[in-house]
Structure 1
Amino acid sequence: MYLTKEVKAEIFKKHGGSESNTGSTEGQIALFTHRINHLTGHLKKNHKDYNTERSLVALVGKRRSLLDYLKKKDIEKYRILIKELGIRK
């Protein structure tokens, strides 16, 4: 599996502050970005996988909502996070 406990812990440690802070907005956005990148690679190989495509669109929408929330709460954290993750906006 592409998303092991260790990978998740590393993502939350880097972006969420600590491994146990799994509810932080920054950590969730980073986790969604990791999953989006994985699904995008899968869809490049399997372009007729419509269920995965639908899941990807839903995940992008969730990430967009969290990014809007973070932008409203703390614009500096938002700018730093999109630069680190390489998200266009």
Structure 2
Amino acid sequence: MALSQERKDEIIKKFARHEGDTGSVEVQVAVLTADINDLNDHMKANKHDYSSQRGLMKKIGHRRNLLRYLKDNDVERYRNLIQELGLRR
């Protein structure tokens, strides 16, 4: 269900702003997006898994808040991130 450490490391390496960066907004949003995509696939197969549905909604809300923060503080980074992740905003 959760992301494998190898996949998470690939995402972190791709979106990190500097060496060892795991906490920047870009990295957090990219990891959350991968989690959300996996949970969406899970929910398509398991429609009545309400605890996973709640977790999905919490992750979507967290990502939304991080994207709002990034948009308010650095619009150019925000635009690059949503384009790279393929988010509709």
Please tell me the residue identity of whatever aligns with 2:39.
L
CA distance in 2, matches of 1:57, 1:69: 18
Q: Gapped runs of 5+ residues in structure 2?
A: none
Q: What's the % identity of the aligned pairs?
A: 49
Please tell me the residue identity of whatever aligns with 1:15.
F
Structure with higher RCO (Cα < 8 A, 6+ apart): 2
Query: 1:65 maps to what in 2?
Result: 65
CA distance in 2, matches of 1:57, 1:36: 9
| Superposed CA offset, 1:34-87 (max 9, x none) | 000000000000000000001000000000000000001110010011011111
Q: Gapped runs of 5+ residues in structure 1?
A: none
Within-5 A mapping of 1:38-77? 38-77=38-77
Within-5 A mapping of 1:1-89? 3-18=3-18, 20-89=20-89
CA distance in 1, matches of 2:12, 2:53: 26
TM-score by length of 1: 0.93
TM-score by length of 2: 0.93
Count residues in correspondence. 89
